[in-house]
Amino acid sequence: MKSAVPRALRNARRIFPRASSTRSSSLSSLPRLGNNRLSGTTTLTSQHRNFSATTGLRDIDEDKDRKWSTPLAKQLAAAIELTGPIPLASFMRMCLTSDIGGYYTGAIEKDRDQFGLKGDFVTSPEISQVFGELIGVWFLTEWLAQGRQSRGVELIEVGPGRGTLMDDVLRTIQSFPAMANSIDAIYMVEASPELRMAQKNLLCGEDAPMTESKVGYHSVCKYNALPIVWTETIKSIPTAPQKMPFIVAHEFFDALPIHAFELVSIPASKSEAPSSTDNSSPSSKTTTPTLQWREMLVSPTPPGSTHESLKTPATQSRETPPPDFQLTRATSSTRHSLYLPESSPRFRALKSTVGPGALLEVCPDASLYASDFAARIGGSPQHPKPKPSGAALILDYGPGDGTIPTNSLRGIRKHRRVSPFAEPGLTDLSVDVDFAGIAESATKASEGVEVHGPVAQGDFLELMGIRERAEVLAKRAVKEEKGRAVEKAWRRLVDRGPGGMGKVYQALAILPENGGRRRPVGFGGDVVQ
């Protein structure tokens, strides 16, 4: 008999050990996406000024005494003075994970972290423990469906934040000893030393030692004394054909740097000759205009700029100092504009379907991570795997209908939308995730995988039984107020309205290839035991 609640979960409800809380302190704070997604994005094209990739250094020379809003801003400006305007991806990477004051790597004050009421944003695992529990159950359903391998299971999380999601996943799996005993190791991919320590404290205890090796940092988990390894990239995690990796990425892909492009029409007389410097050569004289991609680059704002002069959109709070940087459109091709927009048939089609003015965001790191997940699950020519196994679950926000994200860069500070170019390093940056691009990269990287979804987070969680699990928790709550908070928290995760997280967040699964015969739970399939 089919049931919307996985049988595993129905059993699990009886034995989940902790029926404590909603994380109610976060309830009034905003998700990373903010509550006004459509009107709050930075309009790349409305703000940019034309800028040559090789000039534009005037501002810095003229303004040696300029006060930059953060040490990172000063360093970025110095770098741009040397190299010229930089790709948006380089700017994002520096702002998020640079050693000197990146958002995740040390810029924010010691007594404050990125998450929760006192931080900048709140995420689903921080809102309700049920979120992580259901992801644990999802892994369990895959482990059951794939033949209950008795060893070689690995849990891998990329971008684990405070470690809350992994803690909820592990606590849940503990209730199913056969699966718990099949786990060999836990891997956490984390760029931030502070968050790595927070995760270690939560998952291993404050007193547990952490040791360093060539691979990364090691400690021992409070659940089953499992080894945990922290690495800075997924590439550092060893691969082996007999391993069954269960991978989760929650609000990780939206923090990966993007390149942004705009399609422009170049009049016939100005068309670039492919490799000629001699404009009079016959090869440069074409008779029809050509379409070429131009990369959006980051350069300093003019000295003395104000929010008014820069026209900071009304949807972005002006409580920050005026942005130090702005987007500029390169006047000629750059290395990236020549190959990234050609890297997928979806991107190439924009020349004919949209034409001049088309916008495009490309995230090469997202392709690398998706390809890596797929190769671990399904094998690849470099790392063949006789029997594909494992699963990856990617939860994030972005279009669920295959549209390519555009104009999606956001700055977030203390639960408000701000300019992404204000206070570099103190401002969180995020973008919409190209789920169709992730699916394409995964299936291209491995013949041994198939992709399901994306489906709306609300649908995924409801099919996984969030309502039933939350009801049990609410009933167990001693205080009525607590019960109400549990209710409010889970409803927020599935709410399809503009302030909710049920529709704009999506879930996508990468599974071993099975000819589409078995759909995973939460994506329309039922539990297979």
Q: Of residues 86-125, which lie at the interface with ligand SAH (CB under 6 A)?
A: 96-97, 104, 123, 125
* Dist CA 34 CA 314 (whole Å): 15
Residues in contact with ligand SAH, counted by CB under 6 A, come to a total of: 19
Is there a contact between 328 and 297 (Cβ–Cβ < 8 Å)?
A: yes
Picking from 465, 445, 459, the residue whose alpha carbon sits closest to that of residue 510 is 445
C-beta of 240: minimal distance to ligand SAH in Å? 22
* Dist CA 36 CA 529 (whole Å): 42
Radius of gyration for the chain, computed over Cα atoms and rounded to the nearest angstrom: 24
Q: In whole angstroms, what separates CA 261 from the centre of its chain? A: 20
C-beta of 253: minimal distance to ligand SAH in Å? 9
Please say which residue, 96 or 449, places its beta carbon nearer to ligand SAH: 96
- Region binding ligand SAH by CB under 6 A among candidate stretches 183-191, 270-278, 381-389, 468-476: 183-191
* Dist CA 306 CA 422 (whole Å): 11
Residue from 154, 168, 251, 462 in contact with ligand SAH (CB under 6 A): 251
The conformation of residue 4, written as its DSSP 8-state character, comes to: S
Binding status of residue 425 toward ligand SAH by CB under 6 A: no
Binding status of residue 126 toward ligand SAH by CB under 6 A: yes
Please say which residue, 192 or 337, places its beta carbon nearer to ligand SAH: 192
Please say which residue, 144 or 504, places its beta carbon nearer to ligand SAH: 504
C-beta of 11: minimal distance to ligand SAH in Å? 27
C-beta of 335: minimal distance to ligand SAH in Å? 21
Please say which residue, 202 or 291, places its beta carbon nearer to ligand SAH: 202
* Dist CA 91 CA 432 (whole Å): 17
Q: Would you give the binding string for ligand SAH spanning residues 134-163, x where CB under 6 A is met?
A: -------------------------xxx--
Q: Would you give the binding string for ligand SAH spanning residues 185-224, x where CB under 6 A is met?
A: ----xxxx--x-----------------------------
Query: Half-sphere exposure of 44 toward its Cβ, with a 13 Å CA cutoff?
Result: 28
C-beta of 190: minimal distance to ligand SAH in Å? 5
Both tokens assigned to 349: 């089609």
C-beta of 459: minimal distance to ligand SAH in Å? 19
C-beta of 290: minimal distance to ligand SAH in Å? 36
Three-state secondary-structure class, residue 448: coil
- Region binding ligand SAH by CB under 6 A among candidate stretches 208-216, 245-253, 290-298, 451-459: 245-253
The total number of residues written for the chain in this structure: 529
Binding status of residue 358 toward ligand SAH by CB under 6 A: no
Q: In whole angstroms, what separates CA 340 from the centre of its chain? A: 19
Helix/strand/coil percentages in the chain, nearest 5: 35, 20, 45
* Dist CA 454 CA 394 (whole Å): 9
Is there a contact between 298 and 85 (Cβ–Cβ < 8 Å)?
A: yes
- Torsion angle of alpha carbons 305, 307, 313, 316, nearest 10°? 130
C-beta of 187: minimal distance to ligand SAH in Å? 12
Q: Enumerate binding residues for ligand SAH (CB under 6 A).
A: 96-97, 104, 123, 125-126, 159-161, 165, 189-192, 195, 250-252, 255
